[in-house]
Amino acid sequence: MKFLDEAKVWTKAGDGGDGVVAFRREKYIEFGGPDGGNGGRGGSVIVEAVDGLNTLIDYRYTQHFKARKGGNGAGSDRTGAAADDVIMKVPVGTQIFAEDKETLLADLDAVGKRIVICKGGDGGFGNATYKTSTNRAPRRADKGWPGEERWIWLRLKLIADAGLVGLPNAGKSTFLAAVSAAKPKIADYPFTTLHPQLGVVRLNATEEFVIADIPGLIEGAHEGAGLGDRFLGHVERCAVLLHLIDGTQADPAGAYRTIRDELEGYGHGLADKPEIVALNKLDAMTPQARASRVKALERACGRPVLVISGATGEGVPAALRALADTIHARRQTEAEVVPG
């Protein structure tokens, strides 16, 4: 299935049904009177987060969603039928923006969360509503109220506990494949990952977390270079970032600074997230190169650096444990926060 994380759609709620003018006429009944019923409510357009979806591809080919009009009223005080709502099902983590792409209308970050994006119009009144002691035979009936309509943007931000960041060919896909059942494309050239990938890491019977791999960043990504930074939104919700550095390159400290500059340029709090730095491809480094590059990288990031090999698995358990501990601490902190 093709990955799509952004879509623009048009939504239109149903208009309300019309009220009617009608009078009661029955044989052997001396006095009649107005009995025109009201119109029914128009259908609303609702967006709901559901389980089992991880892309917005359904909204690539269907971009217009319109609910039906409510039924018109009828004689004998019969109210028109209310129209059914239209429910748009989206993946958990979908944000809904107004047409300006800046005004956030809803953040559907849990299964079952929903929002009425366009409310159906109310039905118009029939002439029975306007009967009074002085107006015994009103001939007024109202049209139904129009339903709301608007263009909206759907933007998906994957729900993951940990995110992988790094330059192209840093070994992120190899690491993801080694620690989870995910099957990302792996090759010896840059930008093999073109779309975000998710994997579930199971440390033991009780501990597991979701890790997200996004396409590699290059210098100037926040200005649109390479694949740009459009996929960084998928790690905005992560509790921790695992920053992988290719240990076979001559300047790992420079690679680290490049990614940090892009995270700061992107904003949205990514640069402030807890970060674990790992020098990858241990199996391809000599002991001398390893020692010098670890030292240079620790000076650049100001913290201890893990040394791992996604290909052989060496050092990977320690990296997973560090990720799990950080995620656990974040969850505990969130659980202790009581809404005011």
Backbone angles phi, psi at 64, to 5 degrees: -125, 130
> Is 335 known as a binding-site position?
no
- Per residue in 310-331, pLDDT (tens digit) is 888 888 899 999 999 998 888 7
Per-residue pLDDT, 184: 54
> Is 216 known as a binding-site position?
yes
144 or 282: whose pLDDT is higher?
A: 144
The answer to whether residue 23 is domain-embedded is yes
Query: Is 122 in the same domain as 138?
Result: yes
Mean of the pLDDT values across residues 9-27?
A: 92
> Is 100 known as a binding-site position?
no
> Is 191 known as a binding-site position?
yes
The answer to whether residue 81 is domain-embedded is yes
Average pLDDT, the chain: 85
> Is 170 known as a binding-site position?
yes
> Is 214 known as a binding-site position?
yes
Task: Decide if pLDDT at 223 tops 70.
Answer: no
Q: What range does the domain containing 97 cover?
A: 6-156
The CATH number covering residue 143 comes to 2.70.210.12
Query: Is 137 in the same domain as 199?
Result: no
Q: How many CA atoms lie within 13 A of 79 on its CB side?
A: 13
Task: Decide if pLDDT at 101 tops 80.
Answer: yes
Task: Decide if pLDDT at 189 tops 80.
Answer: no
Query: Is 176 in the same domain as 106?
Result: no
Backbone angles phi, psi at 7, to 5 degrees: -155, 145
> Is 281 known as a binding-site position?
yes
Per-residue pLDDT, 340: 47
SS3 98: coil
> Is 167 known as a binding-site position?
yes
Query: Is 47 in the same domain as 169?
Result: no
36 or 168: whose pLDDT is higher?
A: 36
To which H or E segment does residue 300 belong? Answer: helix 287-301
Q: How far apart are CA 104 and CA 98, in angstroms?
A: 7
CB 190 within 8 A of CB 212: no
Query: Is 136 in the same domain as 61?
Result: yes
The tally of domains found in the chain comes to 2
Task: Decide if pLDDT at 97 tops 90.
Answer: yes
At which residue do the structure tokens 């759609």 appear?
Answer: 9
14-43 as b/e: b if 16+ CB within 10 A: bbbbbbbbbeeeeeeeeeeebbbbbbbbbb
> Is 168 known as a binding-site position?
yes
Q: Quick one: angle between helices 172-179 and 316-336, nearest 10?
A: 80
- DSSP letter at 205 equals S
Query: Is 314 in the same domain as 171?
Result: yes
> Is 310 known as a binding-site position?
yes
Q: How far apart are CA 201 and CA 198, in angstroms?
A: 10
Q: How far apart are CA 75 and CA 24, in angstroms?
A: 8
pTM over 0.85? The answer is: no
Per-residue pLDDT, 202: 87
Give the pair of three-digit tokens for residue 19: 């009220």
> Is 195 known as a binding-site position?
yes
Query: Is 134 in the same domain as 195?
Result: no
Q: How far apart are CA 133 and CA 91, in angstroms?
A: 56
